[in-house]
Structure 1
Amino acid sequence: MATDREARRRHPTPDDDVVDRAAGLVARDAVTGTSLRQATYAAALARAGLLQHFPRESMLLDAVARINRRAVGELVARATALPPGRERERVVVEGLVDFAIARPGIAALGRSRVQARTSDPAAEERGLALLDAMGVDAAHEPERVITVVCAFAGIDVATYLASEGYEPDEWRGVVVAAAMRTLGHPDLHSVGDVGVA
């Protein structure tokens, strides 16, 4: 049986779009309890190449982790270049909304892993980095941690629900404003206040 390293040599690293589509498929099928191989064979022709890119589910999870690590690293760097406060928090919120819009499959896989209570130390590390970028001392501000987690969870659920029937530019600003209000910035009430991208 080939190791993951040998399989990676035979199968070039897929681009982020392929990873996102595969993650979305696995997330959807995780809910019904089908395996990766069963899901692949049952999937539409457009997804038939899934096993070619990811002979093992661990390879998909590694690719998702790579994309998440890069995205969070870039977001944290942008945010921490600003002083703590509203603008810094807005950079984080907008970054999370934009990632969920751009990578709905990866967002869905993360959501399914949280729902399944799958232990993921790397995801926990990224979560702590995002809390730090928000200016939250996780060890000493439990109430603020809960507030930020509520805002982040709201972003996740709202972007998922909105993506089912609306174009992103119809709702992006509303989600950003709602998250900012959750964080304690009640003066943001309209889409125009947050600059729809």
Structure 2
Amino acid sequence: MARTFREDVDERILDRAAALFAQRGFAHTSLQSLADAVGLSKPGLLHHFPSKDALYQAAMNMWQVRGRALFDPVTELPLGPERDRQAVELLVDFALERPGLVALASRSITTLGSEEPDPAEGAGEFAFGVFGINPETDDPERVTRVLGMLGALAVLILAAHHLGDKTTWRRHIIATCLDTLGHRRPGLPSTDHVQVEA
């Protein structure tokens, strides 16, 4: 089903607001800074979303709804390289389309173990589930690889949006993510570097 113009505008508002929430945290993000980030007046923003809480909840809901629809088929696959590959490709495509939402979901990973309450906590658990890990009980190497891949993905998506052509960056981001997970794709050059002594 095609989205309406209003739905598309709301999605863009939510993505930009999510990026600001990810950068500053919920408590340190003002309604005025959100309005500025999305290019609306404060009353204009409130016309779309009645409060900062409603805006945040709508962004998290959009991540959950879109994420589940996107990743549910992947979670049916057995754990292993093929599931990881499909999950990475879907995640990269979604992140290139909606970088703010992915940054907000990543916040739950960067605040792991922190005393700061994290309303986005479910987003991190969802991402862990897609890759079949439990950070508290699973093999530390696998947990490290998945967390490293998610962190690298967040940074590379930001770089792709600010520095380059997203289409060109896509294959390099996917290759880096798969390398981080320990799955070298056939035909791709090695990213290993030889350190030269001075």
TM-score, length basis structure 2 = 0.72
Which residue of the partner structure matches residue 140 of structure 1? 138
Structure 2 residue identity aligned to 1:126: A
Q: Which moved more, 1:133-142 or 1:163-172?
A: 133-142
What does residue 131 of structure 1 align with?
128
Question: How has the CA–CA distance of structure 1 residues 110 and 81 changed in structure 2, closer, same or farther, with 3 Å as cutoff?
Answer: closer
Q: What is the count of residue pairs matched by the alignment?
A: 176
Q: How does 1:24-35 map to 2 (within 5 A)?
A: 24-27=19-22, 30=24, 35=29
Which residue of 2 is the match for residue 155 of structure 1?
A: 153
Please report how far the alpha carbon of residue 60 of structure 1 lies from its aligned counterpart in structure 2 after TM superposition.
1.1
> Is the 1:181–1:188 Cα contact (8 Å) retained in structure 2?
no
Shifted more, 107-116 versus 144-153: the winner is 107-116
Q: Give the match for residue 3 of structure 2.
A: none
TM-aligned CA deviation for residue 26 of structure 1: 4.9
Query: Unaligned 5+ residue runs, structure 2?
Result: 1-5, 190-198
Identify the residue that residue 92 of structure 1 maps to in structure 2. Answer: 87
Shift of 1:110: 4.3
Deviation track 1:117-166 (CA, whole Å, cap 9, x = no partner) reads: 64225x33332333233233542323311210100110011110121021
Seen in structure 2, the aligned counterparts of structure 1 residues 188 and 177 have a Cα distance that, compared at 3 Å, is farther
Range 46-55 or range 63-72, more displaced:
46-55
Out of 183, 186, 193, the position equivalent to 1:185 is 183
The 5-angstrom pairing of residues 59-78 of structure 1 reads 59-78=54-73
* Residue pair 2:14, 2:58 contacting (<8 A) in 1 also: yes
Q: Is the 8 A contact 2:178 2:185 kept in 1?
A: no
CA distance in 2, matches of 1:100, 1:108: 8
Instruction: String of CA shifts for 1:50-92, please: whole Å, max 9, x gaps.
Output: 2322332111110011011113312331212322221210121
Contact kept? 1:27, 1:112, Cα under 8 Å = yes
Unpaired runs of 5+ residues, structure 1, are: 1-11, 192-197
Give the aligned CA root-mean-square deviation in angstroms.
3.1
Q: Identify if the C-alpha distance between structure 1 residues 115 and 54 changes in structure 2 by more than 3 Å, giving closer, same or farther.
A: farther
Question: How far is 1:111 from its partner?
Answer: 5.1
2:81 is matched by which residue type in structure 1? R
Counterpart of 1:151 in structure 2: which amino acid?
M
Whole-Å separation in 2 of the counterparts to 1:74 and 1:95? 11
In 1, Cα distance between the equivalents of 2:67 and 2:59? 12
Please state how far the C-alpha of 1:24 moved relative to its aligned partner.
3.4
Give the Å deviation of 1:109.
3.9
- Conserved? CA contact 1:173–1:190, under 8 Å: no
Q: Percent identity?
A: 32
Counterpart secondary structure, 2:39: helix
Tell me the equivalent position of 2:96.
101
TM-score normalized with structure 1 length = 0.72
Q: Which residue of 1 aligns with 2:12?
A: 17
